[in-house]
């Protein structure tokens, strides 16, 4: 009963804070612990230093000392997102002399500050068998433009949250091989808003807010392995499955409401990681991660009972990859220093597929951090990362319902992110 209450409380606390900005490609959240921020999450599947290994590679629990391990982390994301217009045209629903709708503003800063928490617990059954539980938001996005934004008919507010409960088990095959397996239960919520023109108000130009919202739960699984290549080298392989969701909710436009549904297949991921001890003090970390974003080509919103398509928002996502390189340096017995860099490829490849809801682009991480042992049982991690986004363009046609209009949103996005992380680890 105590464990059930702990799980419920952890999940509730995570859900309350998890409307974060996506800091991995697409709308995935890389920030599954605080320690990894310091080395840009390079080689995370092979690190296995605290209970957060449950997410990155459950086999890593076998590299923790026997007993209980608890890890709690909080990451703060500070994102700036601004739009520069490069020739957008105003929406027109009737020929002159009926006036076009006002073009609108640049929308202000659509970024902001958000917090991403995560919590993990691991326990040894014996020296060759471990169990654990992780609670964290694995996907999330928050973008908010002004209501008079140039691209308001394509979206002004977008919030996605996916909270993941991840019970896991790990066992040792022999001295060289450790395996881990986890089950993933995901609670998914989405709230997408935009503006709709009220054509009956012409020649006046009036907008009304529309909202698509819904939620669902889904199941998936993950598996990991760690191979001891030598006393100095550790190789890790991991895979996290797709999660099928049938999101049900409603489309609200002004006072009217329509029951709606949309099928979403959250992408699978696969990673290979290496941790190499070059000397007594220096460890090198590296990884390559693939993500199957092509599972979400569009958001096809259908009437819940009639089955007809209400809107079909093209995303055009392609599979993407991430590479990272990092290091840890044991400066003193108590202090470990970290640094890392990574390149994260966006699943958005064309200007017509880029959206105002998710103006994604390729990004580069530069990071540093530390771990400090307070005593034999407790340590803290702190990290900072700066993300540099490519300045990418948009040239996307506005679609109202299933009707293509003559308006194009044309411009570019300036994005920058600062990430601050803190983590506490305790063993008993």
Which pLDDT does position 203 carry in this prediction?
A: 57
Which pLDDT does position 13 carry in this prediction?
A: 40
The Cα–Cα gap between 309 and 303 comes to: 6
104 dihedral zone (left: phi>0; alpha: psi -120 to 50; beta): left
State the Cα angle at 73 between 70 and 78, rounded to 5°: 175
What is residue 105's DSSP assignment? B
Residue 278: half-sphere exposure toward Cβ, Cα within 13 Å: 9
Helix (H) or strand (E) holding 70: strand 68-85
Which pLDDT does position 200 carry in this prediction?
A: 63
Its sign, for the CA torsion 32, 36, 37, 42, is negative
Q: Running along the chain, 428 residues long, what does each successive block of 10 average in pLDDT?
A: 40 44 77 96 97 98 97 96 96 80 94 94 97 96 95 96 97 97 97 87 75 96 97 97 96 91 96 97 98 95 94 93 98 98 95 94 97 97 97 95 93 96 98
Task: Return the residue matching tokens 């935009």.
Answer: 194
Which pLDDT does position 202 carry in this prediction?
A: 57
The Cα–Cα gap between 426 and 428 comes to: 7
Residue 342 has a CB neighbour count (10 Å cut-off) of: 25
Which pLDDT does position 17 carry in this prediction?
A: 46
What is the DSSP code string of 327-370?
EEEE-SSSEEEEEEEEEE--S--STTT--SS-----EEEEEEEE
| Residue 369: both structure tokens together | 């951090």
Which pLDDT does position 97 carry in this prediction?
A: 74
Which pLDDT does position 15 carry in this prediction?
A: 41
Contact 407, 153 (CB under 8 A): yes
Domains in the chain (CATH in brackets) are 2-421 (2.40.160.60)
What is residue 319's DSSP assignment? -
Question: Which of 353, 376, 389, 250 is closest to 310 using CA atoms?
Answer: 250
Task: Return the residue matching tokens 């060759």.
Answer: 128
Contact 357, 143 (CB under 8 A): yes
Task: Return the residue matching tokens 């191979």.
Answer: 227
Which pLDDT does position 92 carry in this prediction?
A: 87
Classify 2 as helix, strand or coil: helix
């Amino acid at each position: 009963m105590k464990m059930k209450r702990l799980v419920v409380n952890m999940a509730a606390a995570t859900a309350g804070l998890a409307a974060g900005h996506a800091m991995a490609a697409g709308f995935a959240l890389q920030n599954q612990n605080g320690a990894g921020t310091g080395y840009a999450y390079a080689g995370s599947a092979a690190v296995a230093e605290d209970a957060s290994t449950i997410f990155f590679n459950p086999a890593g629990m076998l590299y923790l000392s026997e007993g209980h391990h608890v890890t709690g982390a909080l990451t703060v994301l500070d994102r700036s997102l601004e739009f520069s217009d490069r020739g957008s045209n105003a929406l027109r629903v009737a020929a002159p002399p009926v006036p076009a709708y006002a073009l609108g503003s640049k929308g202000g800063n659509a970024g902001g500050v958000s917090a991403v928490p995560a919590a993990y617990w691991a326990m040894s059954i014996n020296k060759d068998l471990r169990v654990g539980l992780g609670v964290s938001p694995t996907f999330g996005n928050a973008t908010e433009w002004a209501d008079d934004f140039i691209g308001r008919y394509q979206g002004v507010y977008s919030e996605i949250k996916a909270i993941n409960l991840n019970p896991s088990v790990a066992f040792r095959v022999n001295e060289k091989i450790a395996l881990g397996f986890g089950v993933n239960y995901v609670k998914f919520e989405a709230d997408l808003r935009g503006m709709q023109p009220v054509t009956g108000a012409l020649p006046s130009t009036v907008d009304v807010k529309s909202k698509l919202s819904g939620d669902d739960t889904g199941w998936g699984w993950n598996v990991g392995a760690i191979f001891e290549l030598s006393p100095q080298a550790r190789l890790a392989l991991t895979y996290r499955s797709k999660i099928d969701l049938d999101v049900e909710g409603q489309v609200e436009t002004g006072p009217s409401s329509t029951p709606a549904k949309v099928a979403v297949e959250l992408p699978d991921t696969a990673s290979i990681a290496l941790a190499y001890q070059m000397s007594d003090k220096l460890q090198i970390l590296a990884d390559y991660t693939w993500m199957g974003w092509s599972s979400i080509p569009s958001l096809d919103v259908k009437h819940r009972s009639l089955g007809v398509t209400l809107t079909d928002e093209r995303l055009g996502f392609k599979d993407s990859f991430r590479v990272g390189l990092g290091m840890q340096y044991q400066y003193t017995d108590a202090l470990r220093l970290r640094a890392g860099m990574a390149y994260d490829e966006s699943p958005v490849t064309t200007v017509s597929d880029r959206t105002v809801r998710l103006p994604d682009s390729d990004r580069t991480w530069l990071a540093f951090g530390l771990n400090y042992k307070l005593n034999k049982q407790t340590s803290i991690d702190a990290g900072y990362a700066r993300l540099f986004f490519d300045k990418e363009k948009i040239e996307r046609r506005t679609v109202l319902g299933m009707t293509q209009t003559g308006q194009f949103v044309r411009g570019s996005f300036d994005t920058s992110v600062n990430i601050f992380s803190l983590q506490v680890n305790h063993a008993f």
